[in-house]
Amino acid sequence: MARAFLIVMDSVGIGGAPDAGSFFNEGRPDTGANTLAHIAEACAAGRAEEGRSGPLKLPHLDALGLSAAVDLASGTRPAGLGAVPQGLWGAATEVSRGKDTPSGHWELAGVPVPWDWHYFLETQDSFSPDLVDFVARAAGTEGILGNCHAPGTAIIERLGAEHLRTGWPICYTSADSVFQIAAHEESFGLDRLLQLCRDVAPRLHAMKVGRVIARPFTGTPGAFLRTPNRRDFAIEPPAPTLLDWVQGAGRTTHAIGKIGDIFSHRGITHLHKGKNDADLMEHLIRLGTDAEEGSLTFANFVEFDSLWGHRRDVAGYARALEWFDACLGRFLPTLRPGDLALFTADHGNDPSWSGTDHTRERVPVLGHGLGLRPVGLLAYADIGASVAAHLGVAPQGPGRSFL
């Protein structure tokens, strides 16, 4: 019985979103953003030499059809790439009105978001006084720290010492629909932080805030370090997703990385976590050998986005792409005849762009296991429908299979 592997390269966009002009970074529309093409351009021009050198090298993804997918999506051939496609290739366009993690993943899994997310638009005093009071009461403190837009590492460096002194949680947000709470694992307590997030999540979800995120850290002033114990408390998808369809058909589902958090742990048989993407890759390679017949493995590799895209680090992003591609030399040989491995993304995060937010882009759709198959321009939801069709499971959403 065929197996399926749906692998999300978090934020690896390929430009060309038709509605990019209505999404912004620091007041600049996302029109023209192209994560993959701009990284390749910088590499070819010698502007991304830190820890790597020369043109971008992605032989496995390019052989599947990556360069052709970028050209299809945005009319751009990424510098240094250009292999003749040997796999399934196309590009997908999102319809949900968000360039965020839940919107992208839910739609990939067959469920476009039917509502507008709530965003905290003010960069200072981002949260209303009643919300601040509610969170402080839930934490058992007299107040909170932060209450602003901020990068996670920067706000911990700035407020970590005051957090240790007062015991108040550090609460912050971003351009995404998120409410993040940072606290010291020892002085505040990891279990206490997770319980605080559980307690406040229902109120935030009722506001259509997509995620409450626990951001634990350790260390001392001047040497604070975020730990791998992040936990996302996401609003539940509004309808059954690909994971529910497959599990409901009596099949096994494996979730790698933050897939469990994104889907509120619904439709998941086995969850595989790790402290970084290297750990998650080992899970994927192992499941390439061990995953059950007829199973679905759904993986997210987040560090393209979290470590390099938001920080606007082109060379770091290029290094991560080349590492990931090299690992495919270990993963792809584990697949059995009849298996399908699909590589895609949930949104863009062009590290050459202004601001620090995601960028509205189309995403690649690259497949191994079915031979050469150009599938053209697709909807995100078509990906979930196609994975279901490959597994012989009836899709329940609006997507249409391209297989």
**Nearest-5° Cα angle at 239, 120 to 7:** 80
> SS3 of 216, please?
strand
Q: Which residues are annotated as a binding site?
A: 10, 305, 310, 346-347, 358
Pairing verdict, β 88-93 and 231-234: unpaired
| Residue closest to 33 by CA, chosen among 359, 377, 367 | 359
- Buried/exposed 168-178: b ≥16 CB within 10 Å, e otherwise: bbbbbbbbbbb
Alpha-carbon gap, residue 305 to 6, rounded angstroms: 18
What angle do the packed helices 277-290 and 314-331 form, to 10 degrees? 20
Q: How many helices (H) and strands (E) does the chain have?
A: 13, 16
- State residue 256 phi and psi, 5-degree precision: -110, 130
Alpha-carbon gap, residue 184 to 119, rounded angstroms: 26
Q: Which residues are annotated as a binding site for Mn(2+)?
A: 10, 305, 310, 346-347, 358
Pairing verdict, β 88-93 and 363-368: antiparallel
Return the structure tokens found at 191: 């279990």
Residue 18 has, within 13 A of its CA and on its CB side, a CA count of 10
| Residue closest to 316 by CA, chosen among 35, 8, 30 | 35
**Nearest-5° Cα angle at 345, 401 to 243:** 55
Q: Which residues pair with 5 in a beta bridge?
A: 297, 341
> SS3 of 376, please?
strand
Beta-carbon neighbour count of residue 376 at 10 Å?
Answer: 10
What is each CA distance from 241 to 10, 96, 247, 256, 261, in whole angstroms? 19, 15, 10, 16, 14
